[in-house]
Structure 1
Amino acid sequence: MKAARYYGKEDIRIEEIPEPPCGPKQIKIAPAFVGICGTDLHEYLGGPNFCPASRHPVTGDTIPVTLGHEFSGVIKEIGSEVEAGENIKVGQPCAVQPTVYCGKCAACASGAENACHTGGFIGLSGGGGGLSGAVCVPADQVFPLPEGVPLELGALVEPLSVSWHAVAAGGVTPESTALVMGGGPIGLAAVLCLVAKGVKKIIVAEIATARQNFAREFGATDIINPKEQDVVKETFALTNGIGADVVFDCAGVPATIKAACDAVKTRGTVVNVAIWEKEIPFNPNWVTWRESSYKSVLGYQKADYQAVIENLRTGALKPAAMITRKIKLDDILDQGIKALITDKDNQVKILVDVSAPV
């Protein structure tokens, strides 16, 4: 079968590899659509990071590995020990939660598999990936898509679940004022999740004009341009001098963390969603003087996948506009990864149509 394989920095190859056998507790998926993630870009530009340069403690794999962790597909085969049912059957459209976890560490024992001490992701850490003709995954990480939810939207369940997990951690209500720092794919997904939860005041701080426009389209009520405006002053002006109830830092750049802490209200909450590349200065007084809370979130859990799919079913989540381009597997480098590097402001989510004819 054809697959996109990661060999190292700036080295992704489309090649033929054997189709994997389906284990007794696995389900074999024929991938349909795969989203290209910022993590994939980081691997291409400066990896290996998540991709294992040495043997991964859970998957046992080393590079080269098959890429693709944001994917939907169709059930192709069901393992011998998996209980089939109305929704677990060959031909069923589904989304896949790509979390890799050991099931043995303290994090896993506490129910936080997303923070597994030796974890990773299918499509990054080995174990196959969505950018291939077939991938075998644990049966309990396969989520059937309801009728009316197309496979294209199924590929968005993973990034939407990241933001859903963050928004849930923020404890928002419809009366909350939320400030989202950064209008990239996860920040925009956060806007969609806030809208789905009924939040009526959503402020987005973003420099790029194209991303500002996406944010408005997705439901942001107010836009702040940090290059031209003071984020903290504008936030207080937009909230009658109170500050934001919850701030979601989806940008992960040094300037945003101080602004996030300064823009939150007394006893408000700052939620860090970003993955930081370098250590930065942080002064606890930024949150101490307001008795505000600073918390971080990582990835998602099964409940987030279930919630996102249910909200797609009801129409509360409307993410179709996130899809800004569809490409073929053979075009993943030039029209996918390189396009996101050179034209990132005009792209939200590029989907690879794995089953598209060459």
Structure 2
Amino acid sequence: MATPTVYDNSSTMVDVNGGINEPPAQLTTPYEGFYYAFYGSGGFTMDQCFNTIKLQQQNPLLRYDVTKALQVRFDVKTFNQKLGLIKAANNVDIIDSSFNPVTDKFPNNSITINASEFLNGMSAAQVISVGAYSTLYSDYIQFVNTYFGYAGGFSSLFADASEFDINGGVFDANSFMNIITPYSLEGGENVKPLEGSITINDINNLLKFAIDGNVFKNRTPQLSDASASDPGLVSASGVQYDASGFSLEQTLYKSNYGMADGFMHGDLIFIPAGTTVKLHVVIDSENYNPLNNLGPSNVTDLISSMDTDRTYTKKYYPNNGSGETTAQDMFIYDDSAFDISGNSELPGTAKKIFTERSTATTTNIDRVLTAPLLIKLDNLYDIEV
């Protein structure tokens, strides 16, 4: 297959060399390395006062290093319904569709998933990996302890230890669901309502690229019945599916997949700065003054070292050797400056993909973290929805 032509953030044509990686064999196995993905735009925001989350940007299909992304599975039906495409329980047979066979396009060329739809469509079982956020709470506990110059546990600093335990320092799938589900307790602990949205534009062209290049390896023509050798699993609605989540009925569906099929199980959507989490603690100055006057100076070195160590970058390089340095002339590199554009040994500039910013005053201890979001569109046969 010829190397596909793709574009950078400014819609400049980019020639990307790189293979198409196999999807994980199991539903709950995290993605690692570079995968093609639909480029989303927009943002969600979560705020726990102790927290917030965002989602961002879009463009045609490029390869991205998704290893440190927050990775979630999301019902493919939701995205297809936004296109005006309704499928049966097996997510194969089309019941109703707005697809125009004459123009070979869907009338909706842009779809948006808002915060409410995202929250209502999520569960802890759908979180594949929390990515760079795996040490979110434990690092914050260390930061607060250092602020107070206190060797004891984080919880023992406060009058009500249970309120500020922060899940024992563990940030996992349940913790993620906790910070996107609003609540408020006495004493100041709260999670603010999730805000923002995800938008995918130019869907018809993106789908054509996904079909022609089979970059997700989920549109491979099947001419035989795989169910005879692989009886698979059975969903709550009675659909047979294999270990990777594909309907076994799909193997008998057709020999070629087209635009009319819309989004499919295994499609990926990547939002580079897709999540932002804000952690916030207010210090009771009446109780801790003058102790907390030393706090900001206690964490000065830690802010510098920890924020720097936990900030990862992507590098953008000129598309030829003639000296272009503006954004529209840039190619994408990975964290180690591995060339995925075909050019090498050119000066480049870093673009942060995971950032951590910490601040401390005599009244507040704050941390803001931003990381990518990877959404795997999924049949969710193994989950009651």
Q: Give the TM-score of the pair, scaled to structure 2.
A: 0.22
Question: Which structure is higher in strand share?
Answer: 2
**More RCO (CA 8 Å, sep 6+):** 2
Q: Give the TM-score of the pair, scaled to structure 1.
A: 0.23
Structure having the higher Rg: 2
